[in-house]
Amino acid sequence: MSKKFIFDFAGAHCTGKTTLMRSIKRELESGSFSCKIVESVTRDFIVNQNYDLYDKTDSLSQTMVSYFNSGVVLACDADIVLSTAFGVRPLAYSICSDLVNATVVTMHWDYLRFFASDDFQKCRLVTWFYLPVTFPMVEDGVRLVNEKYRTSVDKSISYIFSSSGIKHDTIFGSELEMFDSAMEVINKVL
């Protein structure tokens, strides 16, 4: 397979992204694809180091998160990368934070437009999924239960997709319904 495929799952905290990606990874690896999950640094690194970026953030942290994530995704040698980190969520975090300046938000918009551009899509195809908030957040010992912030992130993600014109598929429902909807899109792309 000469072209690498990136499927990015954008959504606020606790919308089912990780659970969905794990199911999809199992399905893809049962076929002939190599597949890797790359999650947001805020989950894999920063949160595990006891830093809290779910209620507050700053321009430096947000910039680091964005560029570190994209580097990990682009360096991955798997045929398919399942990601929660490829542009949309970092931009959503920056939009809904009053601690991030306008320059950083503009930079994130440019960053996201680059991944959606025809030039980039020629070498790696990025397909976006949006998982809206459809059920209450549950305490998991990692993320703070903060519905106000979660709703703000969700609104920002919805705004990003609607205002940018980036093609995406909205995925919601039960675990099985989300899996079936996502796999239908993925199988068409592949």
Q: Is the pLDDT of residue 102 over 70?
A: yes
Q: Which residues pair with 4 in a beta bridge?
A: 124
In this prediction, residues 113-129 reach a mean pLDDT of 91
Burial class (CB in 10 A: 0-12, 13-18, 19+), 109: middle
When the pLDDT of each residue in the chain is averaged and rounded to a whole number, the result is: 83
Task: Examine the pLDDT at 124 and tell me if it is beyond 80.
Answer: yes
Report the phi/psi class of residue 30: left, alpha or beta, with left for phi > 0 and alpha for psi in -120 to 50: alpha
What's the sign of the alpha-carbon dihedral 164, 96, 47, 141? negative
Architecture field, domain 4-189 = 3-Layer(aba) Sandwich (3.40)
Domain residue extents for the chain: 4-189
What is the CB-side half-sphere exposure of residue 51 using CA atoms within 13 A?
A: 14
